[in-house]
């Protein structure tokens, strides 16, 4: 039964903070969100129409145009391209008769590209109506398109996944690929044990314990967690929030997906511990839209926790109450930035805020808010359980504990590795069976691209700090194409709010393309360095401040190879191409491309 827009809005209490959920429901039911719908919502939610238009147009998974009854979201990240995405996409286009970016005229099938969906170790992958297909081939695509044309349930075409992915609540064709287990994430955990310990300690000592453990944020930035919790608790307010940031959009990272699939109790208990420590009553799990297929399963986990008195009112029979709500993102890398995530969770465009004030002082609904990565919450739970000394014994002096690494690309064993901080890149490459690594992207496109000369460097905050994405490229890969993929990614994902990130990244991409077609000079390389630096320094948030990194770190670490792609004997090459420039007008005017004059005189 179709629901009316008003009914859908009502299901979500007509609240703007539920706007993304409302738009998800409408998009899923209607396959697009019309202007008419926005008019109704504007009245129902009392939100200005222009703001609703702004929100609808901000997220990849919302559209004003029909996306088809089956909507294919094909991942286009570098690892996907390396695994044959091009052939797979061609097959999709051939069999459905449309190009990517289009919907068939009968509105049956829509083909759309999307940024990394967190499946880099099993590409090419696509999400079709929340069903996940991995390791796609042209022949499977043919089957899938035929099933879509026939209006069949695509579930029958899914291969069985691994571990909890088999759980009917998930039902995804996903392989966990946990290659190396450690003491923290993928072993027995008794739900409630960390929370009991926390309550024995008392809230202030929990924060002390986290501080002593030296735990730093696992999302990439590495801010000391105990300090963050301390600041938030100290902020004067009647309400505080705990947010779990499951918006791992950095191409090459997928460890949060596996952690949430296999050990969500640990993560959620970490959130409750945080809530207890900072005296909060409400937690929010911000789940990226790409992981929507995990939602029902995670809801069930939360229910189990409520039944076990680990969540909800009077937790473990005490006066402490804390509940968690899952909010679904809708496709936007920028929402991994904590203030953008908060905006998005409030039902707005996911644009970063100006800081200060920081979220620990003024976050969700302008209340003090702790935003942490799920891995950080997992660590926190175990630290409370086993003590800070246990945690500090692992890793290095400056980087305590273990870290989850998402390893993908050219190696025999891509997947998840739980490792102590301090391992060298070379050792990790050995571990995952990367025999002929030429370049390693540490920390995704926003991190650094390193060459063999730096493989002795250590994975640790004091050397190569990272959110854990390790993407390996061997000598057969084209360096410039990888850089192009990464710069395109930033161009697709910039929110466009500030000038250097919006305009600067477009300029840098164009510059790279100039070099790729053989029109580059050494001038172009120095300009990339200078312009990239401007984008880094002047941009408003972390996205812009790191977006030129693919180019800048490649120029630094692969200087010889890149220098070999440009001319050094001249300082100016025109991009102008006469044949191209006259092609259209000759055709329209119906004349021959007569360039006699040029030939005679030049």
The residues of the shown chain that bind another protein, judged by CB under 8 A, are 39, 48-51, 53-54, 56-58, 332, 349, 354, 356, 491-500, 502-504, 506-507, 510, 527, 531, 534, 537-540, 571-572, 574-576, 578, 580-595, 597-598, 601-602
Classified as helix, coil or strand, 475 is coil
Q: For residue 93, what are the contacts with CB-CB under 8 A and spacing of at least 6?
A: 99, 100, 111
In this complex, which beta carbon is closest to another protein, that of residue 168 or of residue 356?
A: 356
In this complex, which beta carbon is closest to another protein, that of residue 399 or of residue 547?
A: 547
In this complex, which beta carbon is closest to another protein, that of residue 63 or of residue 165?
A: 63
In this complex, which beta carbon is closest to another protein, that of residue 202 or of residue 518?
A: 518
Q: Which residues pair with 290 in a beta bridge?
A: none
In this complex, which beta carbon is closest to another protein, that of residue 236 or of residue 560?
A: 236
Question: CB 146 → another protein: shortest distance, Å?
Answer: 34
Question: CB 478 → another protein: shortest distance, Å?
Answer: 24
Pick the closest to residue 441 from 412, 470, 481 (CA basis): 470
Question: CB 523 → another protein: shortest distance, Å?
Answer: 10
Helices (H) and strands (E) in the chain, counts: 26, 15
Question: CB 104 → another protein: shortest distance, Å?
Answer: 24
In this complex, which beta carbon is closest to another protein, that of residue 37 or of residue 380?
A: 37
Distances (CA, A) of 410 to 177, 416, 423, 443: 15, 15, 19, 16
In this complex, which beta carbon is closest to another protein, that of residue 143 or of residue 583?
A: 583
Question: CB 356 → another protein: shortest distance, Å?
Answer: 8
Where b means 16+ CB within 10 Å and e means fewer, 467-505 reads: bbbbbbbeeebebbebbbbbbbbbbebbbebbebbbebb
User: CA-CA distance, 501 to 522, in Å (whole number)?
Assistant: 24
| Tokens read off for 379 | 């660590």
In this complex, which beta carbon is closest to another protein, that of residue 138 or of residue 506?
A: 506
Long-range contact set of residues 38-47: C-beta below 8 Å, sequence gap at least 24:
40/5, 40/6, 40/9, 41/5, 41/9, 44/5, 44/6, 44/9, 44/10, 44/14, 45/9, 45/14, 45/15, 45/16, 45/19, 46/16, 47/16, 47/19, 47/347
């Amino acid at each position: 039964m179709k629901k009316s827009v008003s009914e859908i809005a009502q299901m979500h209490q007509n609240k703007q903070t539920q706007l993304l959920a409302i738009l998800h429901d409408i998009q899923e039911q209607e396959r697009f969100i019309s202007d008419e719908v926005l008019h109704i919502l504007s009245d129902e939610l009392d939100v200005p129409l222009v703001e609703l238009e702004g929100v609808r147009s901000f997220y990849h998974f919302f559209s004003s145009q029909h996306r088809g009854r089956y909507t294919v979201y094909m991942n286009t990240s570098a690892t996907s391209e390396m695994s044959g995405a091009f052939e797979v996409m061609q097959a999709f286009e051939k069999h459905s008769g449309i190009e990517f970016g289009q919907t068939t005229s009968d509105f049956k099938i829509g083909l759309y590209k999307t940024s990394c969906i967190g499946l880099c170790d099993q590409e090419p992958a696509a999400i079709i109506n929340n069903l996940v297909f991995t390791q796609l081939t042209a022949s499977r695509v043919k089957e899938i398109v035929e099933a879509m044309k026939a209006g069949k349930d695509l579930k029958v075409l899914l291969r069985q996944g691994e571990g909890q992915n088999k759980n009917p609540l998930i039902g995804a064709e996903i392989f966990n690929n946990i290659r190396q287990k450690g003491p923290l994430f993928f072993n027995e955990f008794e739900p409630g044990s960390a929370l009991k310990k926390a309550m024995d300690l008392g809230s202030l000592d929990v924060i002390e314990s986290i501080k002593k453990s030296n735990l730093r944020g696992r999302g990439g930035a590495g801010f000391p967690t105990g300090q963050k919790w301390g600041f938030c608790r100290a902020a004067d307010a009647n309400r505080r929030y705990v947010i779990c940031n499951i918006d791992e959009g950095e191409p090459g990272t997928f460890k949060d997906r596996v952690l949430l699939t296999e050990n969500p109790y640990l993560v959620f208990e970490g959130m409750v511990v945080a809530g207890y420590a900072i005296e909060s009553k409400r937690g929010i799990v911000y789940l990226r839209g790409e992981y929507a297929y995990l939602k029902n399963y995670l809801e069930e986990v939360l229910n189990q926790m409520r039944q076990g008195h680990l969540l909800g009112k009077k937790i473990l029979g005490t006066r402490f109450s804390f509940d968690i709500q899952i909010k679904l993102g809708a496709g936007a890398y920028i929402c991994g930035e904590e203030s953008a995530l908060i905006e998005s969770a409030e039902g707005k465009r996911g644009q970063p805020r100006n800081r200060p004030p920081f979220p620990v002082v003024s976050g969700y609904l302008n209340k003090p808010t702790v935003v942490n990565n799920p891995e950080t919450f997992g660590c926190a739970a175990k630290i409370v359980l086993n003590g800070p000394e246990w945690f500090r014994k692992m890793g290095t002096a400056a980087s305590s504990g273990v870290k989850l690494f998402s390893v993908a690309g050219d190696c025999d064993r891509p997947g998840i590795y739980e490792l102590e901080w301090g391992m060298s890149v070379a050792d990790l490459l050995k571990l995952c069976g990367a025999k002929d690594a030429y370049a390693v992207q540490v920390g995704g496109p926003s991190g650094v691209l390193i060459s063999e000369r730096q493989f002795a460097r250590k994975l640790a905050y004091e050397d190569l700090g990272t959110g854990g994405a390790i993407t390996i490229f061997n000598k057969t890969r084209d360096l410039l194409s990888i850089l192009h993929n990464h710069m395109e990614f930033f161009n697709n994902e910039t929110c466009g709010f500030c000038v250097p990130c919006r305009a600067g990244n477009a300029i840098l991409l164009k510059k790279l393309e100039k070099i790729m077609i053989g029109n580059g000079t050494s001038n172009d390389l120095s300009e990339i360095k200078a312009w990239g630096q401007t984008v880094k320094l002047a941009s408003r948030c972390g996205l812009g401040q790191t977006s030129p990194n693919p180019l800048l770190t490649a120029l630094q670490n692969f200087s010889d190879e890149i220098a070999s792609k440009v001319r050094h004997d001249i300082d100016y090459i025109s991009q102008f191409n006469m044949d191209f420039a006259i092609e259209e007008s000759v055709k329209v005017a119906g004349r021959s491309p007569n360039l006699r004059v040029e030939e005679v005189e030049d």
